[in-house]
Structure 1
């Protein structure tokens, strides 16, 4: 019997009602639902309580109720476990989600019948060195690692190396190191290319560079990126998926490589990446 763990973003207005409906459908179809302490209390189902720390050992897959940011957060938390995630969009864009609230019945049936495929999404791992010491490590991202100024009107300089080979120096608002999943996020708005999630590469995209020649780069996933940063106002930050922020100082060194594990996303076989791209980003009718 399948055991499905629910991960719910309770800041979303629809979260409580959708969670209740989803649990009813799961149970009606002969599976078991498990929820954490917050969700159990909110929906009044203490009988379903299972701490998130125990999900890895006691559930078969995860349903994530929220938007893209919710999926990013839980992907970073659960990728090491190898548990597949199905995104159910109760946010805005929902680019990473595969299901909508109106599709709950069909979505549950598809999952229980095994009528889906798994996409293994590349993740990044970063660390920060200062004066020869590692001060931040095990920073994991599904979308991107960003290096940015922390104040309007200032600039940050990033010296870029790939596998210890000097590439270029970028002065502007910062630099992004992204996965193919992140190619449709912040990197896209900075002029980076859209990359199919089925290939393992890393993207390096300057953020508002103060030059005429700076262009995005695509490198192999097994290469290591090193960035040396400096800024006249020393107000710089490292961003992990736009959710986790770390303060940077002059001459800090950021190293980025592919993580040793991937996020497993549940996807429907009849839903192609470029169809989703057109629909979600309004690229074409």
Structure 2
């Protein structure tokens, strides 16, 4: 039986293409068949995706195989690379572990979004792994929004935008906007206002069955632009309603390293831990 592995690279980095050639050669040496992005739709039985790049490339890979329950493993060629499992100097290790099926699959929640616009009877739908951001369309103006949870109004304010995120996305855009870091095994969703002119505009953490809603008020002087993972765009004029719920599908990440998320957080952000439990290793 042929064991097909999709190898997806950052499209413009020459170093990524060289690494992809190395991965393909090592896959063949293990009796596996590398599949390129051009062939993915014609290949039914892909068992794994090896992604070479940063988190953006991993998000592109998830979009490419959405609905097929294929796990992804990232080899980081970017900067922080929170979704990546390994660094580029461990390519051979990744391929050998993949060949032996020596990994566990971690499932992460996603978001489903529906946008109802004035004058249109049917909403537009999309999805996200990290976040759905509602952003002002004009730089010089604030967008006026009302936010609600579970079909109950919560607050109204002018702002630069609102980010609705998964725990996976809590270390991405939501983190930059002042939201909390949420451990990836927590079943929850976040709503984080951006530069809101309001006394009550704090980050919110809601349950997995909740519905988060942002309405672009009719009085808003500017439209909004909705970005799903920064990749898929939906325009939202005044009078639009954006509903976000837990996604019907999960993204599957292959993991070799079962170390706690705390270790990943410390490593990716290079956090100082000298002095923890008396172990002060500073000079």
Fold shared, TM-score > 0.5 on shorter chain: yes
1:64 aligns with 2:65: no
Moved more, 165-174 or 249-258: 165-174
Extract unaligned runs of 5+ from structure 2. 274-283
C-alpha displacement of 1:3: 1.9
Q: Tell me the residue number matched to 1:174.
A: 161
Q: How many residues align?
A: 271
In structure 1, what is the Cα distance between the partners aligned to 2:250 and 2:220? 37
C-alpha displacement of 1:12: 1.9
Moved more, 178-187 or 271-280: 271-280
C-alpha displacement of 1:102: 0.8
1:256 aligns with 2:256: no
Q: Tell me the residue number matched to 1:115.
A: 102
Extract unaligned runs of 5+ from structure 1. 38-50
In structure 1, what is the Cα distance between the partners aligned to 2:112 and 2:124? 8
Give RMSD over aligned pairs: 1.7
TM-score (norm 1): 0.89
1:1-51 C-alpha deviation (Å, 9 max, x unpaired): 5321112222123121001111111111222212133xxxxxxxxxxxxx2
Q: Tell me the residue number matched to 1:41.
A: none
In structure 2, what is the Cα distance between the partners aligned to 1:227 and 1:29? 50
1:59-83 C-alpha deviation (Å, 9 max, x unpaired): 1111111211111122133231100
Using a 3 Å threshold, how does the CA distance of structure 1 residues 214 and 199 change in structure 2: closer, same or farther? same
In structure 1, what is the Cα distance between the partners aligned to 2:199 and 2:254? 41
Contact 1:229 1:250 in 2 (8 A): yes
SS in 2 for 1:75: helix
TM-score (norm 2): 0.90
Moved more, 234-243 or 126-135: 126-135
In structure 2, what is the Cα distance between the partners aligned to 1:9 and 1:219? 34
In structure 2, what is the Cα distance between the partners aligned to 1:100 and 1:284? 21
Q: Tell me the residue number matched to 1:238.
A: 226
